[in-house]
Amino acid sequence: MTIRLYELCGADETHLFSPHCWKTRLSFAHKGLDFQTVPVPFTKVASLEGGTDRKVPVMRDGETVVQDSFEIAKYLDATYRDTPPLFDGEGGIAMTQFVINWSQSQVHPEVAKLCLFDIYSALAPEDQAFFRMTREKIFGMTLEECDQKFEKNNAGLMKALLPLELTLKTQDFIGGDKPLFADYVVFGALQWLRTTAKNDVMPKDNRVADWFERLLDMYDGAGRAVPAACAA
């Protein structure tokens, strides 16, 4: 039975932009596993698969339902043992948690500053109301104020990405000579930006930009299934 992956979408069902869902998309591609995507708008996420407080991604594989991209990756490594590993050892699993926390606390806020309003603009009306309420609470200001406050250039983002830029001096991927789940964690953050930002704010002319392009190209261009939001 095909694995089912519930993924966040915009007003357009093909507009899949969630960083966390992209981590899982590339995890499936990494392992060569087919899956059926089920696009879900913001206001339908909480109740997925009989839940009350779900967050995407949520995956159903036969009788098993798993939520959270890291949990899904661990499930896939434990279940599909004859496919390429997403962690490559116990040390890799533990340190991936560090990369997740780094990406979430350092990279995500910088990405959000660059595309929050563009995400809002791409949602259906009922999802816009939900997004506005939840995000204005987090940021402590209106979406419009937030959009005004932050310049639309990637200086802050590139500063946050410095540890990755330095790492790519001596190896092709966070995972070494091949990508691991930790790569998809940071890929997810930049794919979130690529698929939503109307301004031209993607990393350019540096190692992170090259690494991101390499990942977009892998697995028959799985990362290019959704086009860039910026025409530049």
In the complex, what is the shortest distance from the CB of residue 177 to a second copy, in angstroms, rounded to a whole number?
A: 8
Q: Let me know: does 173 contact 9? Beta carbons within 8 Å.
A: no
In the complex, what is the shortest distance from the CB of residue 210 to a second copy, in angstroms, rounded to a whole number?
A: 17
Near a second copy by CB under 8 A: residue from 59, 72, 73, 99: 99
Number of residues in contact with a second copy, rule: CB under 8 A? Answer: 32
Near a second copy by CB under 8 A: residue from 38, 136, 163, 199: 163
Near a second copy by CB under 8 A: residue from 43, 83, 106, 199: 106
Peptide bond into 39 cis (omega under 30): no
Tell me the C-alpha distance between 84 and 219, whole Å. Answer: 13
Residue 98 in contact with a second copy, rule: CB under 8 A: yes
Residue 93 in contact with a second copy, rule: CB under 8 A: yes
Give the pair of three-digit tokens for residue 199: 């301004």
Half-sphere exposure of 222 (CA within 13 A, CB side): 21
Near a second copy by CB under 8 A: residue from 32, 62, 176, 227: 176
CB-count exposure of residue 2 (10 Å: 0-12, 13-18, 19+): exposed
User: Going by C-beta distance under 8 Å and a sequence separation of 6 or more, which residues neighbour residue 88?
Assistant: 175, 176, 180
Near a second copy by CB under 8 A: residue from 19, 92, 203, 223: 92
Residue 209 in contact with a second copy, rule: CB under 8 A: no
Residue 52 in contact with a second copy, rule: CB under 8 A: no
Tell me the C-alpha distance between 203 and 142, whole Å. Answer: 27
Which residues lie near a second copy (CB under 8 A)? Answer: 85, 87-99, 101-102, 104-106, 162-164, 166-167, 170-171, 173-176, 180, 182
